[in-house]
A = this chain, B = another copy of it.
């Protein structure tokens, strides 16, 4: 087998294969990141949650990865006047998401891949083409300039949102494809650790400065710093003073932060230097279908379904792809045509759903979290969850703490939202709600859930 891409999904998948005794070689376009600093323009922090953890556990890697993770129990909201408030993610401290450095996680997975598979990842190998009939993958070694090709029993493309393998699949008739960019971009910034090496804000939380049409967020790093991400509309036409275009003018940066994020500004003395030396990130959703071509190739992870980062599910979804692919190998063995066909049929509706959920969650994070009505609905939601723990499960929990299919989470989430809308109408107090009526509504609208074991 040939795996194209030694990112998070490719490295993990190689271990899944090794555990099944399937020989797979991994080819990676970039130089070995364990020997250099090349981040590749990707985001710095990730939120590892149940689906990702489940996959890591399946191949015995979780204990290693847990060591480099920081639990985040909820959202810490920063109001414009500096007031802080906390919104818990789960029902208690047993439910949390994990901040983890993309680079450290990837390095660990590469190490584990090489030691478990006994095979070295081949770096600097840029995929330049696929002969679908002959099952031959062509590469160029970007260090030596050498061209080489490899015969493969089958090819798994884990080469990310701008996948070279997917580019080759565009030549196949009836390949549907869409890449859509948000009108928003982002800047990553760092809040350093304190002089004693400690955290300058609450460590075990995901910090959000929600400002309606834009936001700043921050995730903790092991060494005491925070990685902040500022999400803003690109263009003045859309965002006016609150746009990346407006901030291109150096004089506008500090006033913008003073107006919006004074507490964060106070923790970033070198903000200006950081801001103007860091690249601006883009946000893209990729959808395509089919993901597979016969028994020759399948896409996996971002190459098949890149999403926006606002639900923290990009990596988790990619790892869940691995879980499903591995299950199907368990059923069909190396009958790749069957395995690939069932894999894409199972995963496509779910990755379409998480793409939508991730878009929705941007609005929640940047805007709704600060809205009293939203907060009240969250309280009703928690109460309904208590009363109907296997029927009414908060959407966030279905996505983050359970391995319920994303499409199910999306569908039930919509029904639940309409229930919450009804119950919250015209009242601000839980005591005023008629709970027996509410329970009847829940039982009419929703069936009991089947919850896959974590």
A residues neighboring B (CB under 8 Å): 167, 170, 173-181, 234, 282
Q: How far apart sit A404 and B175, CA to CA, in the bound complex (Å)?
A: 34
Chosen A-B contacts, 19 in total, with CB atoms closer than 8 Å, are A167-B167, A167-B170, A170-B179, A173-B181, A173-B282, A174-B181, A174-B234, A174-B282, A175-B179, A175-B181, A176-B179, A176-B180, A176-B181, A177-B177, A177-B178, A177-B179, A178-B178, A178-B179, A178-B180
Whole-angstrom distance between the alpha carbons of A237 and B192 in the complex? 59
4 more contacts with CB within 8 A, not counting A176-B181, A177-B177, A178-B179, are A173-B181, A176-B180, A177-B179, A178-B178
Q: How far is it, in angstroms, between the C-alpha of A180 and the C-alpha of B181 when the chains are bound?
A: 17
Question: How many copies of this chain sit in the oligomeric assembly?
Answer: 2
Residues of B within 8 A of A167 (CB): 167, 170
A174 cross-chain contacts in B, Cβ below 8 A: 181, 234, 282
Q: How far apart are the CA atoms of A200 and B178 in the complex, in Å? A: 45
Task: Provide the residues of chain B in CB contact with A176, threshold 8 Å.
Answer: 179-181
- A180 — which chain B residues lie within 8 A by C-beta? 176, 178
Measured in the bound complex, the distance between the Cα atoms of B176 and A174 in whole Å is 19
Q: What's the least CB distance linking A185 to chain B, in Å?
A: 8
CB distance from A312 to the nearest CB of B (A): 23
Query: What 9 pairs across the A-B complex have the smallest Cβ distances?
Result: A178-B178, A174-B181, A176-B180, A177-B179, A173-B282, A176-B181, A174-B282, A176-B179, A177-B178
Residues of B with C-beta under 8 A to A282: 173-174
